[in-house]
Every structure is written in structure tokens, then in C-alpha cells.
Amino acid sequence: MKNKLKELITRKIAFAGLTLNLGSTRAAEILARSGVDFLMVDLQHGNFDKNTATDSIRAVGAAGTIPLGRVADNFPGAINDVLDAGALGVVVPMVNCAEDARKAVSAAFYSPLGQRSKGGSAPIVYGDDYAVWANAEIILIVMIETAMAVEKAAEIFAVPGITACLVGTSDLALDMKCGRDSDEIRTALAKVMAAGKQHDVAVGTAVGSINEIEKLKSLAPAFYLISHDQGLLKEAGKTIAGRLMDAMGRN
């Protein structure tokens, strides 16, 4: 089994994906066929439980899109759940120091890199040799979302096993008391990306719109997390409603 995202990271080709928040396997099936590189099943802010997350992760993988899972907490059970479901990457929020990073690595990987428990149903999805290749293909993405984490990015990235970093610009802006598109956030992102280059960790960022990507191109993030299914449904609904009102002469 080859994880396409690891190949893109190695080849330094930018990639992008969406968040699944609705808790709907049907939405996962539809968006998994949209052409994005990955979908992130969100157990932190989304409406998923263990069963619906498992169903959505497998629906995404079955369509040929890379399934990721974002856990609510940096705990072994939560990380193990999404990986056992078949996620080829786990996103861990609020990693603020090297100790947080080591904790995530321990939970995400089998020995000798970590202490992940061998079991679960991932081998049913991927084959009996799953445990042989899992450490090489699973990606661990830590989230930097505080000013403290920005300052400690190099220490975090020095922990063996960290594949990538997602800069959570919304929470970071909240912590730094500035706008999401401010110069302060851009400076923080550049600092994290410099640390990523130093330790060969791919750094990506969450963006609120396609227009934000244009502003960040010069920094060359490794990947982008763009919007979520709830936002897409909201915007599509507003667009079609506006067009309907126009067609009926009510605007």
C-alpha cells in the first residue's frame, strides 16, 4: 500500500483537501469523488462518533482518496481508533511542545518507533501485511495553533516520526489576537515553515478561501486544508437560492 500524500511530500508537489464535519457517510462518498487529494474526517469539531467516522474513512478510501482523521485529543485511544478504521494519516490538534509530539508519535506508530497497539480492523481493509508497512505509509500531522507552539516549532519537528504540520490559522489568530489574514499570521507561518525545512517536515496551512492561497503562494506551503462540507453546503445553498430569486424576479 502506498500513501499518495507521502509521495507528494517527497516530490515537493503541493496538495489540498477538505474537512468532513457533517458526520455523513453519504457526504464523504460524494466529496471523495470530487478530485481533492484527501478528506479529513473531523472528530474534533465535526458530528462524528466512532462508528460514523469509521464508515466515512472507509468510504473515502474506497473512492481512491486518501482518508485522514483529526482526533479531538492527543490520547492513544483516540489516535488508534482512526488508524484502526483505516485512516492513512492522523491529525493531532494543539501540539505545543516536544513532549506533546512524542506522545502523538507513540500512539500513532507500531514498535520500534511507537507503542501503538496491534489489532483492530485495518488489516481487513488493507490486508494481513498491514502492520508490516503501516509505519512507513501512515503520516502524522501535528497542528500548531498557538504562539507558544510557533516558538517551539523546531523542537516539535525534531521529534522522530513527525511527518507534517498543519498550521491552524483560526486558533492561532485567536491566540495571537490578530486577524487570520494579518501580517502577524504570515510571519508566524513563515517561521514554522523555516523550522519545517530544517527538520524535513512538510508544513501546510488551513485557509478560508481559494483567494487566500494566492496570498500565500510565495511561502509555498506543502499543502492546504480548504473549508469543510458544512461550508460548501452553505455556500451552494446561498448561490442556488440567489439564482432562483433572480430567475423569479424577486431580487
Q: Which residues are catalytic?
A: 45
Return the number of other C-beta atoms located less than 10 Å from residue 144's C-beta: 32
**For residue 225, what are the β-bridge partners?**
17, 206
Q: Could you tell me what percentage of the chain is helix, strand and coil, using 3-state DSSP and rounding each to the nearest 5?
A: 50, 15, 35
C-alpha span between 201 and 193 (Å, rounded): 8
Cell of 74: 492527543
C-alpha span between 177 and 184 (Å, rounded): 10
Q: Which residue has the cell 474506497?
A: 62
